[in-house]
Amino acid sequence: MRTIKGIPVSSGVVIGVAFVLDDDFRHVPRRAIARGAVDAELARFETARQAAIEELAQLHALAEKEMGPESAKVFLFHVGALNDKKLLAGIHKSIADDHAGAEWAVSEALQTWIDLFRSKDDPTFSTKVNDIEDIRRRLLSQLMGERFDVLRETADNAVVIARDLTPTQTATFDRSKILAFVTELGGKTSHTAIFARALALPAIVGARGVTDAVRDGQKVIVDADRGSLILDPDEETVERYTHERERVEAYRLSLAELADQPAITTDGVEIEIVGNIEFPAEVDTVLEYGGAGIGLYRTEFLFLTSRDIPSEKTHFEAYAKCIEKLAGKTLTIRTVDLGADKYTQERAQIPERNPFLGLRSIRYCLQNLDMFKTQLRAILRASALGPVKIMFPLITSIAEYRQARMVVRDAMEDLDEQGVAYDKDIPIGMMVEVPSAAIQAAMFAREVDFFSIGTNDLVQYTLAVDRTNERVASLYNPAHPAVTKLIRDVARAAKRSDIPVSCCGEAAGEPEFAALLLGLGLRTLSVTASDIPPIKRLVRSLSIPQCERIAKKAISLDSESEASAFLRDRINRLVPEAFDGRTAEPRG
């Protein structure tokens, strides 16, 4: 029995049989063609290209039906790439001038870009690599006469093991056969990971060496809560995980009754539990699980699924759809968090060496005002349809916030001149994601309408740890006393200025950390839809004084390991069922 560790990106536990996906197109031999055969080879390539475009159109229609229009747009990007004049010119030149076969010409043209992005040290830098690989494989499958749907050959209870997966492969999984997947490459922000979450498919990425370690047909357990792949589990381990999985499923079903129940502590304090979403279609799930609204709408996918900058109409339609579904509940829209590994680096002529410390988030928006103002106009127009909040990401100085708010005022003036309706009192707040913002929280609190603490980046920037890097992932810990003290200070500053403060990082969905946040003074938690029921049960099982005592002790400890152990032990004692919905450690 052996365990391989990776980065969990979509939770769940499955027991199945490994299906190792070989990359049949990794090495394509060069085939020389005669000078008189050039036209025929060019025509052969064109036939393959048109067939690939037709396939993608069908996939787009299928994905739009099953996952919604936002997720499906990635296939439109693939179609656009297959029509890219620069790409086509390079392939045509290889065939016409170098007399290379179409397979080699296609492989070289697209492999050059794949290698360029994969050479970067940042494991999340290659957000679009999967898309390029998808296009390459699809064209080669047409040219080489191979079927692209090799995954349909899987047996029942399959766990796909691969070096990497493309968005197309993930989106078209036969869910009646494929239970989960594990890849060597990838990070939490890749399209493949996001599709896995949208499909509720347990998944682990960044599992180094997994394709060499696993053989086809091998029995495996995927624990996608801990990021563990267990090979050849013994009978005792299988039995434990089987019982754990049954217990988890029973627990999750028991939580359904909480959807219509209020999130009120035992001493009568009401806690607002809202949802984090990527796509408008996810609003339905948040409401189904009892969410009180949307605390974080990440709008990057409007950009990531298109080759072009989204129009004001595209923005507005997405926001209007969310507002309609929410029926009076609040929608908090984070303006685009572009830069770093998201969208911009692959379009830059000279990618930044350290994009996480470069031109990203609000900085990027303030240097691309037309794009920024387009989104703000759409948000303002949507605010006439229902309650909306605007939230700026990664604010590091008061000057940034004031400049961003000024752009909002400019957009308002434009709409006033055009006679377009919007909420003139729309709340405008900011994410607290870097130490400088947390330290200056008292100053910010005098100007913003609300705070939302983004623990994902706050932990990363405070501890200098990339949470998507499997080599240092163990150092990423939101319970670190330095992080806890920053959150405490932000909550105190918000309270003194009487403004709302929430937490929308993934840590808010962890029972022990949620209790800590309540003890530090937060009264709004924004979590993924699946975390809403268990967090609601936690809230209904604790009192605020209990949470305050927990927070006081945790913040006094010397290390993050001590704090984590204390939090988990204390919540396990006070609310034993808090961890029933998680499979962090099967009980012996």
* Catalytic sites, residue numbers: 191, 504
Q: ∠224-225-231 over CA atoms, to 5°? A: 45
Checking DSSP bridges between strand 7-10 and strand 203-205, what pairing results, if any? antiparallel
Identify which of 314, 323, 237, 248 has the alpha carbon closest to the alpha carbon of residue 280.
323
Spatial distance between the Cα atoms of 517 and 402, rounded to a whole number of angstroms: 28
Checking DSSP bridges between strand 428-432 and strand 524-527, what pairing results, if any? unpaired
CB-based burial label for 45 (10 Å; 0-12, 13-18, 19+)? buried
Q: What is the DSSP letter of 322?
A: H
CB-based burial label for 477 (10 Å; 0-12, 13-18, 19+)? buried
- Identify whether the C-beta of residue 380 lies closer than 8 Å to the C-beta of residue 405: no
Identify which of 450, 459, 488, 461 has the alpha carbon closest to the alpha carbon of residue 560.
459
Question: Hey, how many other C-beta atoms are within 10 angstroms of the C-beta on 299?
Answer: 24
Indicate the residue type of 380: L
Spatial distance between the Cα atoms of 253 and 434, rounded to a whole number of angstroms: 38
Q: Which single residue is written with the structure tokens 């439109």?
A: 76
Q: What share of the chain is helix, strand, coil (3-state, %, to 5)?
A: 50, 15, 35
Identify which of 319, 333, 339, 379 has the alpha carbon closest to the alpha carbon of residue 70.
319
Q: Which single residue is written with the structure tokens 């749907």?
A: 149
Counting DSSP H helices and E strands in the chain, the numbers are: 23, 16
Q: Which single residue is written with the structure tokens 């990635």?
A: 74
Spatial distance between the Cα atoms of 423 and 59, rounded to a whole number of angstroms: 39
Beta partners for 158? 17, 178
Return the HEC string of 304-340.
HCCCCCCCHHHHHHHHHHHHHHHCCCCEEEECCCCEC
Checking DSSP bridges between strand 228-231 and strand 501-503, what pairing results, if any? unpaired
CA 21 to chain centre: 24
- Structure tokens belonging to residue 6: 């990776």
- Structure tokens belonging to residue 537: 């049960």
Spatial distance between the Cα atoms of 9 and 170, rounded to a whole number of angstroms: 13
Q: Listing from the earlier edge strand, what are the strands of the sheet with 158-162?
A: 2-5, 228-231, 219-223, 13-20, 158-162, 178-183, 203-205, 7-10
| Dihedral sign (CA 149, 155, 161, 167) | positive
Checking DSSP bridges between strand 203-205 and strand 428-432, what pairing results, if any? unpaired
3-state secondary structure of 184: coil
Residues 6 or more apart in contact with residue 4 via CB below 8 angstroms? 182, 207, 208, 209, 210, 213, 228, 229, 231
